[in-house]
Structure 1
Amino acid sequence: MSTLERIFHALLFEVLAVSLSILGLIIFTDHDPQILSGTMIVIASMAMAWNFFFNWLFDLFFTGDKNKRTMKLRLFHVIIFELGLLVLTVPVMAYILTISIVDAFMMDIMVTVFITIYAFIFNWVYDNVRAVIIRRKSIPVTVSIH
């Protein structure tokens, strides 16, 4: 995957994730929607940087066709990614929302459970759609004029 595609992947992932996370937090918490939106944009920015760095490292260790990754490897990928992100984001969330570390952890766990499921589905779909696009680009096109 090229650097440009990694950036596209991370941006697409985060735009969808942030939008859905903000909506969920607005529904399930009593925090101000503007503060939640700002918080999730900061968290998403951190997540994008982490996503880029983590996936670059992960791909160095786990090479090969991504669309052929096992379910076990995909679960390992998501769990390790999300644990690392939790360590980075809980203190930031606590600070911005002026809540305790425990409350931030609980809120971040809710978001993390959602994002973990979302990440699994998103990456599976992305990898398979990408494989189809690459396969189609490699098929020669013939033009017949009658």
Structure 2
Amino acid sequence: MRSWRERVLHTTLFEAGGLVLVTPLASWLTGHGIGRLGLLTVSLATFAMLWNLLWNRLFDRWVPTRRRNLVQRVAQALGFELGLLVMTLPVVAWWLGIGLIEAFWLDLGFMLFFLGYALIFNSAFDGIVQRRLARRNN
């Protein structure tokens, strides 16, 4: 089981990387200024960090191993993204002044992006932690 310290580090790195990648992309795709989108993405990232901590802690209890297979990784990433989508959709629609359907398609696009990002990030993060733990135990 991962410690809270490890989960906070994981979440912080994940969200920081996501913000760097997604804010300019969102601004370009929507035509909204980077400042307006930046405030939204920082707010969503803050919420996502809290959700990430909770979701991954729950997932650690359901799948208590560091060696997860692809199906488990997909379930971990998909569960996080779907939960976040449901909770943030109304906020995105309101903030950007768009309808729920348009916000859904925008969120779906970013969910798919972050699904792939989460698979890659989580696998890399766990690999690095496993190597560090192996070195520490030798």
TM range, smaller chain: over 0.9
- Structure 1, unmatched stretches of 5+, are 140-146
Q: Specify the code of the residue in structure 2 equivalent to 1:87.
A: V
Residue of structure 2 in register with 1:60 after alignment: 61
Bigger CA radius of gyration: 1
Q: Does structure 1 residue 102 correspond to structure 2 residue 101?
A: yes
Q: CA deviation at 1:43?
A: 0.9
Q: Does structure 1 residue 38 correspond to structure 2 residue 39?
A: yes
Please list the CA deviations of residues 1-30 of structure 1 after superposition, one character each: whole Å capped at 9, or x if unmatched. Answer: 111111111000000001101021122221
Q: CA deviation at 1:89?
A: 1.0
Report 1:88-127 matches (<5 A): 88-127=87-126
Distance 1:41 1:95 in 2: 16
Please list the CA deviations of residues 93-118 of structure 1 after superposition, one character each: whole Å capped at 9, or x if unmatched. Answer: 11111111111111111111111100
Q: Specify the code of the residue in structure 1 equivalent to 2:61.
A: L
Residue of structure 2 in register with 1:18 after alignment: 19
Cα RMSD over matched residues? 0.9
TM-score, structure 2 as length reference? 0.95
Q: Specify the code of the residue in structure 2 equivalent to 1:55.
A: N
Distance 1:102 1:41 in 2: 22
Residue of structure 2 in register with 1:142 after alignment: none
- Structure 2, unmatched stretches of 5+, are none
Distance 2:121 2:89 in 1: 23
TM-score, structure 1 as length reference? 0.90
Distance 1:39 1:116 in 2: 20
Aligned residues: 137
Q: Percent identity at matched positions?
A: 34
Distance 2:60 2:102 in 1: 34
Q: Does structure 1 residue 28 correspond to structure 2 residue 34?
A: no
Partner-residue secondary structure (3-state), 2:94: helix
